[in-house]
A and B are shown apart, each in its own frame.
Chain A
């Protein structure tokens, strides 16, 4: 079994049994003769062909006009019309795709040919600039294969982007004679301008049998959900005009319509809106009195005013995208590029990539019937949401509209996700703009669960050689009712742990794990012996914590299972003089970290610490023998976005006589080192994930005037 993501067993190379030496020489000779023969024959047989075939492909200096010409006889077969009932499981041959460790489909592109009819008249333009870009993008992508036998998806080089530019019957014949056509199975056609006058079908009219269609302008009646892919109509302006992203803030117009070819009925409705709402609505039309040489497509006019297109789109909050003869409109791309929120008025239109893109976050869809209410509908949208929609619109353009490459790759990815659904790209990856991906957190423990108390927790004690103190800790911790197992991580390779008989006798299983190296990260390894969700990390010198305190800590953890719940609290501060972070262990009114010398946390974070710690933090910690606890605080805060919970007022942990603040040590170098850690980690994480809070958790009745014996956790020390 091959897994791309998780390999648990690595085996050594298989052993080849040694042949007898006597025979070996003999076989080698035999083999080399055969090989020589093979080479010789090969040279003889393939010499001329290989020159030909390489000239076919690798020679760069070739023109589109030099491609082979294929003559289509008038009676060559025509595929069936598209089958509306096609779905992946009925019309797609999934066996071609196979199971592969990368979970990527393989896409083959037919070589370019020029098709002519019997009389030598060409069937269509050989290839358009956009289709060439699209095929180049596929060819450069991970999906591409040049081996027709290994391909799962076939892309004809016959350009059908614009139905107006081709002859329907002959194009269909050209498709049918492709070498692997087989009723169009697993063939993917790209079309942006479907239909033609007078009724403008919403899907490509070329008979295409079972071929998948990536089409711009599908309606709900022609779109085969889960089979076809709805793509945008590419706007060549995307490549020509550079519109920098515009930040949030007020724009001059509220609603803008820039389309030149609107049905007079729609135009009347828009003009009525303008009459009602005045200058905040701008309805542009084509210019009638442009001087020569000015491209009409780059100008728009309102009365005598001339505006630059598409720049004018950036002046408006909302931009109307109305259906024309076709449902898909290139103006949608321009509008998104301008960061203007599209108001889409095209009943039954399947929005581009709607299988994966959440258009409600980037656009407003208004039924045609409700066009007169457009103004009030749009006014009801909160300002903050408008700003997000603008950002989202721009992001959709950048990621999925801006080039033929973006369109091609998104289309292939969608098909890929259908074939390998268990490796599919998630909603968030498709939809969240980088800014959101950066600032948001997706908590891996997102389900609000309060783990059952009966599960208990596993105490993990990291120790080196302080046996006496270790035994005291074990004895103390074993008194906690919810303790279910005790794990001692013996980090000393030079010394054996004490004999079994010397260990304290406790009521729960006690396991000793010996480590291979004295590393701090051993404390956070997800040992199989840890069978509970809750882990109590405790140092071998923390003897002051009472059973009530520990049990209460566990109860608090149950209410916050995705957080670090610990006893000694610490704080990070911004040092304005030094312009960097500073570590603080004084008694403060705030906490942002808890020390893992005594803290409860979810076992999952062990897994994260060991396998998913960003950058070189893990090695850094092991090398410096310090700050593993700060690293854990960073990790948990970063992945959950939540603060730690400090429990109970306890200040002394090691001995009654110790100073109240006892971390590892109090000296100045220690503090400097710890501060360094914070700065180092903040730079690796690229942000400061720690959250500062002013609260700690105490039992409900802590210090209340209430009989102690009725309290669940009476023995909560104040020092």
Chain B
């Protein structure tokens, strides 16, 4: 034993020595490597003469900047126009801005040609444009043109492939080399390379395409859109699947994938590797070879077992129950999976190198998705495991916001595309990246209203602003009488007595001209009279005269006391994005009739605050007038009713929240018989909830019985039409009312700030 050990020892020593003598060079590195830790890191030297170093360019050179007189700006621009075309197009070289100057941003869709059917999806895109407020039927005023030829599917093996597009386009007199045209495309190229080529010359047209690759994408010119299925709804759209914010995210799975495995061809690199990360516990990555006609020809040893595992899990179940979802490239870069994961609040883990992400010009995907690298697939499990629970929660919420703001319907996808292009036309009047990525999203923020974030009701907290400390009372007068009615006078007195009132604006909606200024009551605040048109929608016009953030919208026969106004305004300052008001109504789903019902009866819930007495942010005037399509305002004007419902629907669609009801005294409207109205049709809102329960909705009592019931059914019909236009019912119900803290408490009246509210 002993000798053997001695020998071993000697051999060992000898080999060490040999190694050191002959392998010194390699070992030196090794020794250096291990010994270095003790040494200080070798940093960039502090040169002794560093203060004597010359600057990279002397100030003179920097300010002189070469020799600018070489090429005049005009010549350079002219030179660009000839050089930077087709694949090098940019807005400044391939887009004719002058077309958009006179009439603004107007979009023209080519008329449908007979015998030239378009796919269902393209039909939806065209109808989205026609529904948009930018649509024009007159090519003369158009700034942007959309072809009637279906260019969505440019895979020439597909049944929907349209042939001879080049030829057809050449026949269009408006084509003009594609200038100011927008072309939509979902699928391009075909087996085996699925290249980006569309099979026709798009010339200088802007391309809005799914699965865009960064290389062929012309930045600031093209738009990358998401791939969506033909079942994608035209409008409204399903909401996201996130119903609760839980921390830590207690979903069953961490990371899932279920999809095809490509054994050969483009995209197989990633798809063929996905099964490696499957651990059967919290990471489920299932692939199947079963696709295509001759899959069995290529099948490998994994296929049979994989196919069995594959069948054991349901895709929908995985989507619902996982925190992260792998969204790898398919044959093309984008996939349906992307939107599916987004809707499911399953944070997309993108493995699609070189994909220009949808609307990346506007959307900050780093807030809603993990943009992975195909090459680093095996790092993905550890990377997502390390994402902090708080960040996961933020990611999840952001997916839902983005889904709802830009993707849940064809309308939203198309309108986002248009808004992105519109923003390029006047960069100084466009949305900042912040606006696109914060609630309520870019589509609902009109840069034409203001470019200052503090002017909108949405960003007070995020930017440390606060809403203005005063309000504007906005009274709509329709009565015919030569002199002012008593209620209006009383209302003006009561409102102007509020310490928060900055001004009173009267919208005079009568043919007769308003009484001379001497006839109006003396008020401490400025009183402005606007001669309005008689349309009902006029009351939500963004009048210049309204100077404050808050608007108190009033009917002439509304009765309010000063303390009611004061209290309501303070409440509004806490909820500046909502409508805060007094009389309320509610909507409900009527399963028997299969439609939305509406009630003005007293109920335990509310979802509509009448704008006959309500505070809201003045920005909603702009949204009402600029954002809503003219058709909806015409509906309101035609019915001469339900403008308040439309306003409530609009605000609810923006905020996703119910309005707020505040304490009101016994009486809301003057009981005196209403004075003669301007004209029948121009009446205000119906009598809202009196302090005694009104009769059932089918039998409105008293003098105006039939008129009342007609108005009631009008309002109900209107509500249904609005729900149809929005594609869903935006109204949200609330079960609460906000009262002063000591409201009806058994304490001395002297201690109460708003004792008069209890009368």
Contact = CB atoms under 8 A, between A and B. Distances in A.
B534 interface: no
A523 interface: no
Given A259-B63, A700-B606, A447 B397 contact: yes
Of B49, B67, B382, B736, the most chain A CB neighbours within 10 A belong to B736
Given A358-B434, A695-B741, A451 B56 contact: no
Interface stretch (A3-11, A170-178, A179-187): A3-11
Nearest to A263: B68
Given A130-B56, A200-B66, A440-B462, 12 more contacts: A34-B13, A61-B48, A131-B56, A132-B53, A324-B66, A347-B92, A366-B427, A441-B464, A449-B245, A603-B247, A693-B574, A695-B570
A712 B735 contact: yes
A33 B12 CA distance: 11
A559 B734 contact: yes
B452 A449 contact: no
A472 to B, nearest CB: 25
Interface in B696-740: 732, 734-740
B354 to A, nearest CB: 6
Contacts of A259: 63, 65
Contacts of A710: 604
B439 A448 contact: yes
A296 B60 contact: yes
Interface string B68-89: 1111111001000000100010
Interface string B86-112: 001010100001000000000000000
8 contacts: A41-B21, A236-B62, A347-B77, A382-B451, A427-B364, A441-B462, A448-B656, A602-B245
B432 A361 contact: yes
Interface stretch (B230-238, B286-294, B744-752): B744-752
Contact of A385 (B20, B97, B451, B745): B451
> Which 5 pairs, one residue from A and one from B, show the smallest C-beta to C-beta distance?
A439-B464, A325-B66, A139-B44, A89-B353, A324-B65
B439 A436 contact: no
B602 interface: yes
B62 A233 contact: yes
A622 interface: no
A576 interface: no
A646 B741 contact: yes
Interface stretch (B148-156, B164-172, B370-378): B370-378
Given A701-B602, A718-B745, A426 B367 contact: yes
Contact of A649 (B384, B385, B744): B744
Contacts of B427: 360, 364-367
Given A5-B386, A447-B400, A348 B90 contact: yes
A587 B742 CA distance: 8
Interface in B467-517: none
A197 B69 CA distance: 11
B197 interface: no
Contacts of A711: 604
A360 B379 CA distance: 36
B374 to A, nearest CB: 7
Interface of B: 5, 9, 12-13, 16-17, 20-21, 24, 27-28, 31-32, 36, 40-50, 53-57, 59-74, 77, 84, 88, 90, 92, 97, 214-215, 219-220, 242-247, 250, 353-354, 364, 366-367, 370-376, 379, 381-390, 393-394, 397, 400-401, 427-434, 437, 439, 450-452, 454-455, 461-464, 567, 570-571, 574, 584, 602-606, 655-658, 661-662, 691-693, 732, 734-747, 751-754
B42 A57 contact: yes
A711 B737 CA distance: 13
Nearest to B74: A265
A4 to B, nearest CB: 6
Contact of B428 (A63, A365, A700): A365
Contact of B244 (A192, A324, A451): A451
A450 B243 CA distance: 8
B400 A382 contact: no
A360 B428 CA distance: 8
Interface in A234-275: 234-237, 259-266
Given A358-B432, A555-B735, A426 B54 contact: no
B55 A129 contact: yes
B24 A447 contact: no
Nearest to B423: A360
Nearest to A347: B92
B53 A128 contact: yes
A436 B59 CA distance: 34
A574 interface: no
B445 to A, nearest CB: 13
Contacts of B43: 57, 139-140, 144, 146
Of B17, B36, B56, the most chain A CB neighbours within 10 A belong to B56
Given A45-B24, A162-B56, A366-B428, A1 B461 contact: no
A367 B655 contact: no
Interface in A134-192: 135-136, 138-140, 144-147, 159, 161-162, 164-165, 192
B745 A587 contact: yes
Contact of A698 (B74, B464, B571, B736): B736
Given A129-B53, A365-B428, A449-B245, A589 B741 contact: yes
Of B41, B214, B746, the most chain A CB neighbours within 10 A belong to B214
Contacts of A426: 366-367
A588 B9 contact: no
A30 interface: yes
Contacts of A686: none
A696 B743 contact: yes
Contact of B439 (A127, A384, A446): A446
Contacts of A377: 428
Interface stretch (A220-228, A474-482, A507-515): A220-228
A128 to B, nearest CB: 4
Nearest to A703: B744
Contacts of A369: 92, 97
B65 A329 contact: yes
Contacts of A348: 90, 92
B64 A260 contact: yes
B53 A64 contact: yes
A444 interface: yes
Interface in A582-641: 587-591, 602-604, 607, 640-641
Contact of B388 (A5, A331, A361): A5
A695 B245 contact: no
Contacts of A449: 242-245
A136 B451 contact: no
Contacts of B56: 128-131, 159, 161-162, 165, 192-193, 234
B245 A604 contact: yes
Contacts of A702: 737, 739
Nearest to A237: B59
Given A366-B428, A694-B567, A361 B602 contact: no
A422 B432 contact: no
B63 A705 contact: no
A502 B28 CA distance: 76
A221 B63 contact: no
Contacts of A162: 56-57
B688 to A, nearest CB: 14
A162 B58 CA distance: 10
Contacts of A395: none
Interface string A296-309: 11000000000000
A579 interface: no
A367 to B, nearest CB: 7
A555 B736 CA distance: 9
A504 interface: no
A113 interface: no
Given A377-B428, A602-B245, A427 B437 contact: yes
A431 interface: yes
Nearest to B568: A695
Nearest to B97: A369
B753 A694 contact: yes
